[in-house]
Amino acid sequence: MARPQPFPAEPPAQDGPLKRLRNTLVLLMAVLLAGAVGYHLLAHLNGLDSFYMAITTLFTVGFREMGDVNNSTKLFTIFYLITGLGVATYALSNLTALILEGDLRGYFLERRMEKRMDDLKDHIIVCGFGKMGFQAAWELKKAHIPFVIVEQDETKGRSPRFAGELILYGNAMDELILERAGIRRARGLITALTTDADNVLVTLTVKQIRPDIPVVARSAKLGTERQLRAAGADHIVSPYEIGGRRMAALLLKPEMMNFFDVVLHSEQLELGLERIAIAPASALVGQTMREARLRHATGALLVGLVHSGAGLRFNPSGDERFQAGDELLVMGPAEALETLTRLALGV
């Protein structure tokens, strides 16, 4: 079964398989060139015949001898075979090892992954591939959102679910690693490392490079939200706090939790919840909710409205007037949300 291709923390070393291949070919060509020059000078052969003699002699084919076969030619042939045959054997064994051991294939796969990484943009970086990072990456994969995983432990990332995905092995607190992950082109970052201290350091490092990028940070212990917030985290998620609230809500308000499960999990129902911004060119600008009749025009249900500089208002009245920069919290099937998105963008 295919495995995700690991992306090394550093660029390919200078003594990688491609350099080994190049050195092997250069060495082999040097031996053949020396043989050709020797036969040209001693046996008085032209260029083609000289190379012919050098190759047939070196690889012990021995079809026939050409040119002046004198004592000098014989002595040169003996010396050429003793030295050249060892070099040729080494070169051929090196080429065979490169092919059979998969070094060349791994190198070209690595280069292809580098190209994918360079072309990546508007993606999400997931730091940490533990249980929480795994689930976050899986949700991104299901939503067809491009992402790259940064993980220090090279034993992780072998799940068949992430076969072919970009996994960069290295320290997420290292600026060079974040640069290679495309931090300057990313749309957001999730830091789900094991300790809160590591998540704080990752957030600080990220915000130094990209102060504007949204960061979602994992909080393992209660009370560390303040440090994460001070480091620049835009959103903080505590799995224990969220898990406890959900467990209590399942007993206190089971119908409401079932409703949210249906809305948020597309596997159960093709229903989505989106936040859509109104562009200045949109026909909605200047209209009231009653005039726009969004549900009739698009099939989407307006749940809330966010005016620029104000908070979220649930179930706004029909007299609310849309403005450029407003954000609509809407719910509905995918087709309805796409229709409303085009209307809000003015396209």
* pLDDT tens-digit map of 237-275: 888 777 787 788 777 777 666 666 665 555 544 567 788
In this predicted model, what pLDDT tens digit does every residue of 103-148 receive, in sequence order? 556 566 667 777 777 788 899 999 999 888 998 998 888 888 899 9
CB 190 within 8 Å of CB 136:
yes
- Cα–Cα distance measured from residue 316 to residue 240, given in angstroms and rounded to the nearest whole number: 33
CB-based contacts of 291, cutoff 8 Å, min separation 6: none
What's the rounded Cα separation, in Å, for the pair 142 and 326? 28
Rounded to whole angstroms, what are the CA distances from 134 to 101, 140, 149, 195, 202?
Answer: 31, 10, 9, 16, 18
Domain locations in the chain as residue ranges: 17-100, 121-241, 270-345
Q: Which residue has the tokens 């002046």?
A: 68
pLDDT of residue 171: 92
The pLDDT assigned to 189 comes to 96
The span from the CA of 149 to the CA of 211, in Å, is: 21
Max intra-chain CA distance, the chain: 109
- Residue 3 CA to residue 142 CA, distance in Å, equals 18
Q: Tokens 């504007």 identify what position?
A: 212
Task: Please tell me the predicted confidence (pLDDT) of residue 259.
Answer: 62
Considering the four listed CATH numbers 3.90.850.10, 3.10.450.50, 3.40.50.2300, 3.40.50.720, the one that applies to the domain covering 121-241 is: 3.40.50.720
Q: Which of 246, 203, 198, 242 is nearest to 222 (CA)?
A: 242
pLDDT at position 57 is 80
Q: How many angstroms separate the CA atoms of 113 and 111, rounded?
A: 5
Instruction: Output the pLDDT for position 265.
Output: 56
pLDDT for res 217: 93
- pLDDT per residue of the chain (347 residues) written in tens, 0 to 9: 444 545 444 444 445 666 777 777 888 888 888 888 888 888 888 888 888 888 888 777 766 677 777 788 888 888 888 888 777 777 777 777 666 655 556 566 667 777 777 788 899 999 999 888 998 998 888 888 899 999 988 787 677 777 778 888 889 999 999 998 999 999 999 999 989 899 999 999 999 999 999 999 998 787 788 888 888 999 988 887 777 877 887 777 776 666 666 655 555 445 677 888 899 989 899 898 888 888 888 888 888 888 877 777 888 888 888 888 888 888 888 788 888 888 988 87
DSSP 279: P
Going by C-alpha positions, the residue among 289, 300, 293 that lies closest to residue 341 is 300
Beta carbons within 10 angstroms of residue 219's beta carbon = 22
pLDDT at 13: 46
Instruction: Judge contact between 184 and 175, C-beta under 8 A.
Output: no
Under DSSP, the state recorded for 161 is: G
What CATH class does 17-100 carry? mainly alpha
According to the model, what pLDDT value does residue 119 have?
Answer: 82
Q: What is the CATH number of domain 270-345?
A: 3.30.70.1450
Q: Which residue has tokens 């509905």?
A: 332
DSSP, collapsed to helix, strand or coil, labels residue 9 as coil
Contact 116, 33 (CB under 8 A): no
